[in-house]
């Protein structure tokens, strides 16, 4: 056991972040690592039991975390994303959820042996997937835009719907079994649900208006959003249990579609909070399992139920609900397979296990084991299979991670061609159609638009590109792009062309350069004008492989002083662009690509 509650909180946070890092470092599904970590420190070694240790605070902490995670996810649900995929998302979230509810309930009754009442409650709950488990999988698999958006929207929208279906089933059961049933009880449920949606909408509109009118200072915007989310969730949940999730989802979607710039600026802050909460809460939930529950998971009836949910109920609900929606067979297969359950299923099932047991349904005692079995099996199966299956179905962005190049000019054309020849994808983005004529002539990938445009955000698929290279003539614009996209691409993957050599000409402050996001690309002595001049005057791209006898030092000695070292390719396939802050020393086996006018001797 840990020495104090404070130490336990620290340990959970530390292990949560460490799990995310291990998953990133070794390219493993993050949710699988988190689940394994929770099981090891909880039921295996008995170091912690958060449910027991936190006592009455345990459920509120989980609920608050789920509310913030769901709000953060819904804040990304812009209706503009629905172009071309609105129909399948609507069908899956309505018809698909209903089919999954009915089929899941029948499976729970006939296979798991639950009574009809308990089966319909748990069948409604298990239609959920949720952002806590879907988002890590989408980041891992790098799916193509359409299936990724469908899974993301479904995960966020169906989360509150599943909880509400469970509540609705419970209300119906209570109404039918009551000695003096009152229709007002059912009407109250619908009224509570409508109130939750209205509350989320009005709070979202109100908060957006306050931000637009400048009634909230910048330093208070993020704290204000978090507090209002908690207020929205709590008020709705107090009036009607489990409608809080619906309320915060409505609030997030409302803010996402108001076009408020300050909300977009805060999105990265809330994404960071969401990652931390997902990590810690998932570990808390799995660490709270006891050995008896784990052993119960391997009950043949429970295993049979889980397998049918994965291989029959989910695929059937997706295939039937998406008939005539325009989704391809491969997309239906992938979406029909990927449905991991997560935090919402665990927390809500725990609540209903207690309520149904108190109501006299003794079979409800296995709900915790049933839920954990479904969560563990789906998390592991879908976590390890999404990458492989998406590649087999041609629904992932195959190949090496590429570069998104902003600015079309003779040098960037050479750079994009060199990446293409090395089998790394690239795309040139420019707001000038005339500038893009160079890319069109060479048959290179290009996009006409501004990187800061909202239209670009919704139409340009950036998933295949891990690096952002800004090489326009507007140096302030380059710095602005690097600062804007730094949270999305990471500090080490955002580059800008050197502005230093123009200091005497236009007063560009060299002191400002180090304070604005983005690494200096290649070498600070090469401005964009220098690079273009070289590309137009005989310098060509060459690739050289280093060996034990021909080292990087030999390579530099053989090259002209004006040679521009572009990037190197490690034997593992890793791509690294040369920059002022580059710490990697090229070694034997590395391939160096450079822009040079001489040949290696």
In 3D space, the residue among 242, 114, 101, 104 whose CA is nearest the CA of residue 171 turns out to be 242
For residue 198, being part of any structural domain is answered with no
User: What pLDDT was estimated at residue 594?
Assistant: 85
> What number of residues does the chain have?
601
For residue 576, being part of any structural domain is answered with yes
For residue 192, being part of any structural domain is answered with no
Single residue among 339, 361, 392 that ends a domain in this structure: 392
For residue 601, being part of any structural domain is answered with no
Q: How far apart are the first and last CA of the chain?
A: 66
User: What pLDDT was estimated at residue 531?
Assistant: 86
Q: Is the domain of 449 the same as that of 511?
A: yes
Q: Is the domain of 333 the same as that of 411?
A: no
Q: Is the domain of 446 the same as that of 543?
A: yes
For residue 439, being part of any structural domain is answered with yes
User: What pLDDT was estimated at residue 314?
Assistant: 92
Residue 522 domain boundaries: 402-596
User: What pLDDT was estimated at residue 139?
Assistant: 65
Q: Is the domain of 452 the same as that of 368?
A: no
User: What pLDDT was estimated at residue 505?
Assistant: 46
| Tokens at 532, concatenated | 């273009």
CATH of the domain at 150: 1.20.1530.20
Q: Is the domain of 434 the same as that of 314?
A: no
Please name the residues in contact with 38: beta carbons below 8 A apart, sequence gap of 6 or more: 282, 283, 284, 285, 286, 287, 289
Q: Is the domain of 371 the same as that of 455?
A: no
In 3D space, the residue among 297, 460, 279 whose CA is nearest the CA of residue 371 turns out to be 297
Q: Is the domain of 366 the same as that of 454?
A: no
pLDDT in tens, 472-510: 888 888 888 888 777 677 777 888 888 765 444 444 444
Q: Is the domain of 295 the same as that of 326?
A: yes
For residue 58, report the phi and psi dihedrals to the nearest 5 degrees.
Answer: -60, -55
Could you say which residues of the chain have pLDDT below 50?
502-515, 599-601
Question: How many domains does the chain fold into?
Answer: 2
Single residue among 392, 426, 446 that ends a domain in this structure: 392
In 3D space, the residue among 73, 486, 124, 51 whose CA is nearest the CA of residue 278 turns out to be 73
Q: Is the domain of 482 the same as that of 334?
A: no
Q: Say if CB 66 and CB 17 are below 8 A apart.
A: no
What Rg, from alpha-carbon coordinates, does the chain have?
A: 27
d(CA 464, CA 425): 7
User: What pLDDT was estimated at residue 508?
Assistant: 46
CATH of the domain at 422: 3.40.50.720
Single residue among 364, 392, 420 that ends a domain in this structure: 392
Q: Is the domain of 386 the same as that of 446?
A: no
Say which residue the tokens 């391939």 belong to. Answer: 591
For residue 320, being part of any structural domain is answered with yes
pLDDT in tens, 304-351: 999 999 999 999 999 999 998 888 899 999 999 988 887 777 777 777
Biggest CA–CA distance in the chain, Å, is 96
Q: Is the domain of 419 the same as that of 521?
A: yes
To the nearest whole number, what is the mean pLDDT of the chain?
81
For residue 300, being part of any structural domain is answered with yes
| Tokens at 444, concatenated | 């290179």
Q: Is the domain of 388 the same as that of 412?
A: no
d(CA 205, CA 41): 43
For residue 253, being part of any structural domain is answered with no
């Amino acid at each position: 056991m840990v020495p104090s509650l404070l130490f336990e909180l620290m340990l959970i946070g530390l292990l949560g972040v460490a799990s995310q890092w291990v998953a990133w470092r070794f390219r493993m599904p993050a949710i699988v690592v988190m689940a394994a970590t929770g099981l090891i420190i909880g039921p295996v070694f008995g170091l912690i039991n958060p449910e027991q240790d936190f006592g009455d605070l345990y459920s509120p902490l989980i609920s608050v975390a789920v509310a913030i995670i769901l709000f953060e996810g819904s804040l990304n649900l812009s209706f503009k994303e629905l172009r071309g995929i609105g129909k399948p998302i609507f069908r899956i979230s309505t018809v698909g959820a209903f089919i999954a509810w009915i089929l899941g309930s029948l499976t729970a009754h006939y296979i798991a042996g639950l009574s009809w009442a308990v089966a319909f409650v748990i069948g409604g709950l298990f239609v959920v997937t949720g952002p806590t488990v879907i988002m890590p999988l989408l980041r891992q698999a790098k799916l193509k835009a359409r299936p990724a958006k469908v899974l993301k929207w479904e995960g966020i929208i169906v989360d509150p719907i599943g909880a509400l279906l469970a509540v609705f089933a419970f209300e119906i059961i209570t109404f039918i079994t009551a000695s003096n049933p009152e229709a007002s009880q059912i009407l109250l449920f619908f009224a509570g649900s409508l109130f939750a949606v209205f509350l989320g909408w009005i709070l979202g509109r109100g908060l957006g208006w306050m931000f637009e009118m400048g009634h909230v200072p910048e330093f208070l915007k993020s704290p204000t959003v978090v507090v209002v989310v908690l207020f929205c969730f709590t008020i709705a949940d107090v009036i009607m249990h489990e409608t809080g999730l619906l309320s915060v989802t409505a609030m997030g979607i409302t803010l996402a579609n108001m076009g408020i710039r300050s909300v977009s600026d805060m999105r990265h802050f809330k994404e960071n909070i969401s990652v931390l909460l997902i990590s810690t809460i998932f570990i808390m939930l799995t660490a709270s399992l006891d050995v008896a529950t784990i052993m119960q998971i391997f009950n043949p009836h429970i295993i049979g139920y889980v397998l049918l949910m994965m291989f029959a109920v989910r695929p059937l609900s997706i295939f039937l609900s998406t008939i005539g929606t325009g989704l391809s067979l491969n997309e239906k297969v992938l979406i029909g397979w990927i449905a991991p359950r997560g935090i919402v299923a665990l927390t809500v099932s725990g609540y209903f296990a207690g309520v149904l047991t108190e109501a006299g349904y003794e079979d409800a005692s296995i709900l915790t084991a049933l839920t954990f079995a479904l969560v563990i099996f789906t998390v592991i199966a879908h976590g390890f299979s999404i990458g492989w299956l998406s590649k087999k179905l041609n629904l992932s962005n195959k190949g090496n991670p590429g570069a998104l190049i902003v600015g079309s000019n003779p040098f960037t054309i050479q750079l994009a061609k060199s990446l293409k020849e090395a089998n790394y994808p690239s795309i040139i983005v420019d707001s000038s159609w005339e500038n893009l004529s160079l890319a069109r002539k060479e048959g290179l990938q290009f996009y006409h638009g501004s990187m800061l445009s909202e239209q670009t955000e919704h139409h340009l698929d950036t998933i295949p590109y891990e690096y952002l290279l800004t090489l326009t003539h507007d140096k302030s614009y380059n710095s602005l792009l690097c600062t804007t996209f730094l949270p999305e691409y990471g500090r080490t993957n955002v580059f800008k062309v050197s502005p230093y050599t123009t200091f005497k000409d236009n007063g560009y402050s060299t002191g400002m350069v180090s304070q604005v996001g983005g690494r200096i690309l290649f070498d600070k002595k090469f401005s964009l004008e220098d690079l273009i001049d070289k590309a137009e005057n005989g310098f060509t791209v060459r690739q050289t492989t280093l060996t034990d006898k021909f080292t990087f030092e030999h390579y530099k000695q053989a090259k002209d002083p004006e040679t521009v070292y572009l990037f190197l390719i490690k034997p593992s396939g890793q791509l690294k662009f040369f920059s002022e802050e580059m710490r990697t020393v090229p070694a034997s086996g590395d391939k160096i690509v450079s822009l040079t006018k001489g040949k290696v001797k």
